[in-house]
Amino acid sequence: MTELEACIYHSGGWWSYLQYDEERDRPDVDRALLRRVWSYGRPYLWGLIGVLVTILIISGLGVVPPILIGVLIDEAIPNGDIGQLMLLGLGMIVVPVVSALVGVVQRWWSSNVGEGIIFDLRRELYEHLQRMSLRFFTATKTGELMSRLNSDVEGAQSAITGTFVSIVSNVVSVVFILITMIATDWRLTILAVVALPLFVIPARRVARVLKRVTQDLMEHEAKMSGILQETFNVSGAMLVRLFGRWDQEATRFSDQAALVRDSSVKRSMVGRGFFAALGLVSAVGTAAVFWVGGLLVIRNEIEIGEIVTFAALLTQFYGPLSAITNSRVEFATSLVSFERVFEVLDLETDIPDPETPEPLSLVRGRVEFADVSFRYQSDGPEGLAAVRRWRRAASDEPAPSRASTREWALRHLDFVAEPGTLTALVGPSGAGKTTISYLIPRLYDVTEGSVRVDGHDVRDVALKDLAAAVGVVTQETYLFHDTIAANLRYARPDATQDEIEEAARAANIHDMISKLANGYETVVGERGYRLSGGEKQRIAIARVLLEDPKILILDEATSHLDSRSEGLIQEALEKVMEGRTSIVIAHRLSTVRAADQILVIDDGEIVERGTHSSLVAADGLYASLYQTQFVEPASA
């Protein structure tokens, strides 16, 4: 049994849970957080003012019907004044109609303000996440990121359009009603508010607990979204089906959904007793007012209409008063969504654009690795695990450093790829070849040393300039669920149809596309699964051709294709590499033999370098790989 469960079930139930949670979790809801929330509302100041004006109008109209009732009972009926009776009745109809119309205007203003703020927040969050490094995404489930962008941002929207408006509206209503009650009879007013401390005392503790439970619920929902994203995309669904893991995945999802269910029940139960107590206090207060008011009427100290007016006002008074008392709960809960969004926005981008980038114009394509060492693991938590602002483990002990367990993926690499040359990377699986290809376009930053393009450290070059200079054809080709033309134009949105077809011809894919019913407007499906591996690879090559980079990184990935597709891709690659600095993770003998230099990578180090003939003559690791990896497949 967990510490939390033991506290709930063995130490006095929910009240012990409240005490436990209050001591354990003290969320940082400070002025800095509120100022930051307000910074998103400042551009919509006039809309917020409009909301406040409508709140004042609606609150003022809210006290009119009880006053009309009192006048009707004390004056119109006793005096037999039909005209006054008609006017009062008409007023009881007009006031709600006007209030409803003003409420529509209020809702329009609050919705525009709320949706505008959420648009700004969602856009900023998306742009920030787009600038995170590959390390961040490899350490984070896509479903959890989607939860931050959707559920958490929508929760922040609720705080603006719901909680904020509700709190202000209730405060204004209480002020208007209280003034009217005092004007009606100050003695009954004192009696009505004497129970106020009973509303306030529990609110502070309940706010903290409800905020904690709400945050737990959001985290469980994010993890559930992660499971859905993993198993409902094409690759995940295929993996589940191939291994027959339906029952196991259903169990995994069920377990996480159960945590969401339990957290939702817990959130409902935390406030239930509190609200029941508030209802009891309201009932006692109302009964006391009627009892004392009745005595005052019997003694002829007030009129019957006054007590009826007061009773009607009292009914309106306790509702907003209860809501104000609970506003701390609602406010603290609504801030959870803002906190979770701000946590992500506060994550530092580990692949930042330089403040004053060095210009990378007229790229020649010289690539240099200068004493480069690299390791994937960082010292601290990665991905969304690094965003915990104030929540810590129950022990409150810092997480142990991972520095001692980190392993070097690359160590002390030195080489130069001159403009227009072909450099082949050869080595056993896991040697570090793909890692080298990741460092040139800054998918990762080096741990030590530097990677240079035309003499510029890539960390000093604008990311857009670097992306324009370096083209990459990866082993796993990714296509969006869109048309072939749209996937090709991703490299260059302004490309004409003629340019697209020219690139497709160079990649040996135009004829295949032309035979499709919709041609270049054919939708390729999720991750391009409607196309074969060779077709996707050739589209990726055409996409890089449209970009026209001076530096080309290729992971040929042709060994698993049929001979026809392999030949078409190889022919396309030879066209692509013409006049470009090419760094190729070689899988074919022809590529290796054509290389100006071959780097043999093993365990993250360059163990041999040279041309094909010189390395074969050296009879080292390359000679062994040549016999097993290149010669045998080529002759098979």
The tokens of 104 are what?
């529509």
Taking 80 as the threshold, does the pLDDT of residue 385 lie above it? Answer: no
Q: Which pLDDT score, from 0 to 100, does residue 24 have?
A: 41
Whose tokens are 């100041």? That residue is 45
Say if residue 82 is exposed, middle or buried (CB neighbours under 10 Å; 0-12, 13-18, 19+).
Answer: exposed
Q: What DSSP string describes 205-230?
A: HHHHHHHHHHHHHHHHHHHHHHHHHH
> Integer distance in angstroms from the first to the last C-alpha of the chain?
61
Residue type, 47: G
Q: Which structure tokens are listed for 3?
A: 């510490």
Q: What CA–CA distance (Å, rounded) separates 114 from 571? A: 56
Q: Of 161-165, 444-448, 453-457, give the lowest mean pLDDT range.
A: 161-165
pLDDT at residue 25 tops 60: no
DSSP string, 246-305: HHHHHHHHHHHHHHHHHHHHHHHHHHHHHHHHHHHHHHHHHHHHHHHHHHHHHTTSS-HH
Lowest mean pLDDT among 135-144, 176-185, 215-224, 227-236: 227-236
Give the DSSP letter of residue 401.
Answer: P
Residue 137 has pLDDT above 50, yes or no: yes
**Domains of the chain in sequence order:** 3-345 (1.20.1560.10), 367-378+406-480+545-635 (3.40.50.300)
Question: ∠ CA(234), CA(238), CA(239), 5° rounding?
Answer: 120
- Flag whether pLDDT at 218 surpasses 80: no
**b/e sequence 288-318, b meaning 16+ C-beta within 10 Å:** ebeebbeebbeeeebbebbbbbbbbbbebbb
- 125 pLDDT above the threshold of 70: yes
The structure tokens listed for 274 are 């509190």
pLDDT at 478 (0 to 100): 79
- Is residue 593's pLDDT more than 60? yes
Average model confidence (pLDDT) across the chain: 78
Counting residues of the chain whose pLDDT is more than 90, the rounded percentage is 13
- Banded pLDDT at 563 (limits 50, 70, 90): low
Contact (Cβ atoms closer than 8 angstroms) between residue 596 and residue 436:
no
Rg, the chain, Cα only: 35
Q: Record the pTM.
A: 0.69
pLDDT at residue 233, rounded to an integer:
64
Flag whether pLDDT at 483 surpasses 60: yes
Distance between CA 583 and CA 552 in Å, rounded? 6
How far is C-alpha 295 from the geometric centre of its chain's CA atoms? 61
Residues 6+ apart with CB under 8 A from 339: 27, 33, 215, 389
Beta strands 448-453 and 456-457: pairing type? antiparallel
Is the pLDDT assigned to residue 599 strictly greater than 70? yes
* pLDDT value at 256 more than 70: yes
pLDDT of amino acid 372: 95
Exposure string (b/e) for 408-432, b if CB count within 10 Å is 16 or more? Answer: bbbbebebebeebbbbbbbbbeebb
Residue 439 has pLDDT above 80, yes or no: yes
pLDDT tier at 59, thresholds 50, 70, 90: confident
Burial bucket for residue 83 (CB in 10 Å: 0-12, 13-18, 19+): exposed
> How far is the CA of 271 from the CAs of 25, 157, 204, 219, 432, in angstroms?
18, 22, 12, 20, 55
